[in-house]
């Protein structure tokens, strides 16, 4: 794996290796993919302002997330159906997270079950990403199982009343390969994604099962059935962040779902300051994902107020290239880049990061 020295190189290798329908499903954004490109470009518009001669021998990247200690402020966001990338799928991904001491989030629509993932990496800090199904009993059972298996929080995805329009998936009539199953379900819930032959099978699956009528009141229902802290995943507005906290969420994950839901939404790094500001008087942690591919991206998000930064696709690229080893390689590339950034910018620890460390490029073009 040593030959890969950037996340971009892992991405290129993965895109070459994966079958077309899987590759397209993983990489696509919604419709014109304008926001997908913006997720990356917005990071490039921010400039880091290093402090010189700080006299740093070492830096410490460790931090906490909802009280759990992790070795760096980078974790893995939930992405569905990881066994399409590698036969060991989610179990390889979570083992890599465990080996590196970072947080792993398991998707509801995973190809490994909650229990398989817990058994594979009992010591990893694990969150469970929850979609709320029309069938609340199905939803309740998922929550109970995650709680019993030692997951530490629920990341409730709030941006998905239905799936965004992903044109490649429509063209490819995307469906789950027949040897794989949605491992968190059994009984009357299908473990397959049926495709009647029209458009994306995944979109049909979601339209039939996810509860489109969700409102902030449903967080109260969720809180009534679990003691796990709830993270609202998919927030892009300050006022929604406040509603999430007032409904009882302990964390806000600023996310546009990897720009896969609605094209034209802002990049996540652009809206982060608005959200951090909106909830500054509350006891809540704010996180970010979307377009993060380098250590300097992670640093910029920390400067703008994120407590933890997550990556989705980079873990899939690592998985596709080398299973657990590939994901570990991806994480160590980030760790190395982040260490260099901390050292050269003159930042000893995560707690030493201050908002003056980054400026928008427009400040330099006057
Ligand atoms: C996702 N994402 C996602 N989110 C979620 O809440 N549940 C899910 O099952 C999935 N599945 C999924 C599949 C794939 C292929 C992608 C690319 C993304 C969104 C994901 O959690 C995260 O928000 C983004 O991936 C972050 O952007 P980057 O890091 O991929 O740019």
Distance from residue 363's CA to the centre of ligand 1 (Å): 32
Name the pLDDT band for 196 (thresholds 50, 70, 90).
Answer: low
> How high is the pLDDT of residue 332?
98
Sign, CA dihedral 184-221-310-297, equals: positive
The best mutation among 157, 312, 318, 334 to test binding of ligand 1, ranked by most ligand atoms within 8 Å of the C-beta, falls on 312
Examine the predicted complex and report whether its ipTM is higher than 0.90: yes
Question: How far is it between the farthest Cα atoms of the chain?
Answer: 64
Per-residue pLDDT, averaged over 206-231, amounts to 94
Catalytic residues: 257
| Mean pLDDT of the region 138-143 | 96
How remote is the CA of residue 281 from the centroid of ligand 1, in Å?
Answer: 29
Task: Give distance in angstroms: CA of 257 to centre of ligand 1.
Answer: 5
Arithmetic mean of pLDDT, 100-104: 98
List all residues whose CB is within 6 A of at least one atom of ligand 1: 25-26, 39, 77-80, 107, 109, 129, 157, 233, 255, 257-258, 260, 289-292, 311-313
pLDDT for 25 beyond 70: yes
d(CA 343, CA 297): 15
Closest residue (by CA) to atom 3 of ligand 1?
Answer: 79
Distance 312 CA to ligand 1 centre (A): 5
Q: What is the pLDDT of residues 259-288, one digit of tens each?
A: 999 999 999 999 999 999 999 999 999 999
Q: Is the per-residue pLDDT at 197 higher than 80?
A: no
Residues 6+ apart with CB under 8 A from 240: 158, 232
* Whole-number Å distance between alpha carbons of 226 and 56: 44
How do residues 49-98 score in pLDDT, each as one tens digit?
A: 999 999 999 999 999 999 999 999 999 999 999 999 999 999 999 999 99
- Note the pTM of the prediction, 2 decimals: 0.98
pLDDT value of residue 217: 94
Q: Quote the tokens at residue 23.
A: 């590759």
């Amino acid at each position: 794996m040593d030959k890969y020295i950037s996340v971009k190189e892992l991405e290129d290798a993965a895109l070459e290796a994966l079958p077309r329908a899987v590759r397209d499903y993983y990489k696509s954004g919604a419709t014109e993919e304008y926001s997908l490109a913006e997720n990356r470009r917005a990071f490039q518009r921010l400039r880091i302002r290093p402090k010189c001669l700080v006299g740093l021998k070492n830096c410490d990247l460790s931090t906490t997330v909802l009280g759990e200690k992790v070795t760096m402020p980078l974790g893995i966001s939930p992405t569905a159906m990881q066994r399409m990338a590698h036969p060991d799928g989610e179990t390889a991904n979570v083992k890599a997270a465990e080996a590196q001491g970072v947080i792993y989030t398991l998707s509801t629509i995973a190809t490994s079950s909650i229990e398989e993932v817990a058994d594979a990496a009992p010591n990893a800090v694990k969150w469970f990403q929850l979609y709320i199904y029309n069938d609340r009993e199905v939803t309740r059972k998922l929550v109970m199982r995650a709680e019993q298996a030692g997951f530490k929080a629920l990341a409730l995805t709030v941006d998905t009343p239905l799936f965004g329009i992903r044109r490649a998936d429509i063209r490819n009539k995307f469906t789950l390969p027949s040897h794989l199953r949605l491992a968190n379900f059994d009984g009357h819930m299908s473990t397959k994604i049926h495709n009647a032959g029209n458009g994306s099978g995944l979109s049909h699956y979601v339209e039939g099962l996810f509860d489109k009528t969700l409102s902030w009141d449903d967080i109260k229902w969720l809180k009534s059935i679990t003691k796990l802290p709830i993270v609202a995943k998919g927030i892009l507005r300050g006022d929604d962040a406040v509603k999430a906290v007032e409904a009882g969420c302990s964390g806000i994950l600023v996310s546009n779902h990897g720009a896969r839901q609605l094209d034209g939404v802002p990049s996540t790094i652009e809206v982060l300051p608005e959200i951090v500001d909106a909830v500054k008087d509350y006891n809540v942690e704010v996180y970010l994902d979307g377009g993060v591919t380098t250590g300097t991206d992670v640093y910029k998000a920390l400067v703008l107020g994120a407590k933890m930064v997550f990556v989705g696709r980079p873990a899939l690229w690592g998985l596709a290239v080398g299973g657990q080893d590939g994901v570990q390689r991806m994480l160590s590339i980030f760790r190395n880049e982040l260490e260099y950034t901390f050292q050269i910018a003159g930042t000893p620890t995560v707690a030493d990061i201050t908002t003056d460390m980054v400026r928008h490029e427009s400040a330099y073009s006057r």
